[in-house]
Amino acid sequence: TELPPTEITELDLAPTAGVKSFRQIKSFYERITNFDAAGNQDILGTFNAVAPVFSGDGDPQSVNSMMLLGITNLIGIVCDRIYLRDYYLPSDARRAYVGVDFMKDQRSFTVTAQQNLAAHLSRLFWQREITSEETQIILDAMVEMQANEALSVAITKRMAVGQCMIFGSSLDSIRY
């Protein structure tokens, strides 16, 4: 038997979540990365430069291309600073780049290591588990990041920081 069509009302279409305001985004990134933006001039300067394009009231309708570009710009600096800090720590003591060997070229950043990093970053930035479909998209991006590149530790960094940026600049990281 066929189910009767459901009537859609305006209430059904009402937003059930919002996006983080510029203060909430700053606080969120500080909390998950253990960085104090005030103590890091690069992050603070970037945050102050892009803060005007962030939502002021949490309205989902405020999300636009300028906001997403601002988030991407900010998270690029944040992910690079996390890399600089995590580089010197043992893998199990890192905040973000767990399991990445920055002293080896991209061959050491195996598909399993990429999947593990994606799972870790999804919990860190999205506060949820990654789906198999999302994992595949990340793995495809990793293939593209290293395509036609010579073996290099710089490619390993690019792939790890690239994953961080993907997670940190996504809608799931800025909504509540």
pLDDT of residue 36: 75
More confident residue, 44 or 3: 44
**9, pLDDT greater than 70:** no
Q: Alpha carbon of 66 to those of 4, 46, 154: distances in Å?
A: 42, 14, 29
pLDDT at 133: 96
pLDDT of 11 > 80? The answer is no
Cα 166 from Cα 176, distance rounded (Å): 18
pLDDT at 142 over 80: yes
- Give the residue, 2 or 35, on which the prediction is more confident: 35
**145 exposed, middle or buried (CB, 10 Å; 0-12, 13-18, 19+)?**
middle
Name the band, by pLDDT with cuts 50, 70 and 90, for residue 29.
Answer: confident
pLDDT at 14: 42
pLDDT surpassing 80 at residue 10 = no
Mean pLDDT, residues 41-48 taken together: 87
Residues 6+ apart with CB under 8 A from 46: 73, 74, 77
How far apart, in Å, are the Cα atoms of 53 and each of 15, 29, 78, 97, 102? 21, 17, 18, 29, 34
φ, ψ of residue 30 to 5 degrees: the values are -65, -45
pLDDT number for residue 13: 38
Contacts of 113 (CB under 8 A, 6+ apart): 99, 100
| Sign of the dihedral through C-alpha 26, 73, 160, 38 | negative
Is the alpha carbon torsion for 24, 176, 63, 11 positive or negative? Answer: negative
